[in-house]
Amino acid sequence: MKKTISLDKNHEKSLIKQLIAGEPQAFEMVVSQYHNIMLTVARAIVGEAFADEVVQDAWISAIKALPKFEGRSSLKTWLLNIVSNGAKTRVRRENRQISLDDGWQIEPDDHFDQRGHRLDDVHKWEQDTPEALLANDQLQTIIESTFQQLPALQRAALTMYDMEGIKMEEMCNILDISASNARVLLHRARTALQQSIEKYQGN
């Protein structure tokens, strides 16, 4: 199940007209809709310390460039590319001063024996539909907090691919990573969440 939060083309065109016309509600709408994911991308590329600034600069650039927006990509992708370019420039400028929790660290592999067999049985979850899992407030909090503790690049991959329905190629361009790296990040993020749910179910 992919949840894609994007506006249809016509809706987007009229939204852009409203933005160019300076309608306050249109500004409120785009900022509330896209600021969070722009921040996700900025944090993944440039790190926590510079992300807010990079996103604000990206907004200003985007608003200025809006009359030139041709609709070849969605507004969301266009905005994310602007953030990505700004973040990459910032990385180059700051050079060694940026420290990223890059999400590549190898996790201990303690679930398997030397021959690659599982050490513990994996059972079916009694409730495994999203609706049933999320009906449990405690579990929902656990999932949210696990998500927020993921390294920024893993959060970005998970958000873009599994929540926003952004295509793999587009995501790799925006995050400036290879497809094989993106797949590793995505799998680590999903596994971390699966394990946090499994741990809760096992208690």
Partner 1 sequence: MFQCKDVAEEASNYIDGELPLGKRIGLLLHLVVCSCCRNYLQQLRSTISTIALLHPKEKDDTDTLALAKVLLKASKKQ
Q: How far is the CB of 187 from partner 1 (least distance, A)?
A: 4
Residues 10-29 as x/- pattern, contact with partner 1 by CB under 8 A: ---------xx-x-x--xx-
User: How many amino acids of this chain bind partner 1 (CB under 8 A)?
Assistant: 63
Residues 160-179 as x/- pattern, contact with partner 1 by CB under 8 A: --xx----------------
197 binds partner 1 (CB under 8 A): yes
Torsion-angle region of 176 (φ positive above 0: left; ψ -120 to 50: alpha; else: beta): left
Which position among 93, 111, 167, 199 is part of the footprint of partner 1 (CB under 8 A)?
A: 111
DSSP symbol at 118: B
Q: How far is the CB of 192 from partner 1 (least distance, A)?
A: 9
**What token pair was written down for 117?**
């067999």
Q: How far is the CB of 31 from partner 1 (least distance, A)?
A: 4
The answer to whether 111 and 118 have CB atoms below 8 angstroms apart is yes
DSSP symbol at 135: T
Number of neighbouring beta carbons within 10 Å of residue 77: 19
Give Cβ neighbours of residue 107 (< 8 Å, ≥ 6 apart): 188
Q: In whole angstroms, what separates CA 115 from the centre of its chain?
A: 35
Distance CA(148)–CA(8), nearest Å, equals: 29
Binding site for partner 1 (CB under 8 A): 1-3, 5, 19-20, 22, 24, 27-28, 30-32, 35-37, 39-40, 43, 52, 56, 59-60, 63-64, 66, 109, 111-112, 115-118, 121-125, 128-131, 133-134, 140, 143-144, 147-148, 155, 158-159, 162-163, 183, 186-187, 190-191, 193-194, 197-198
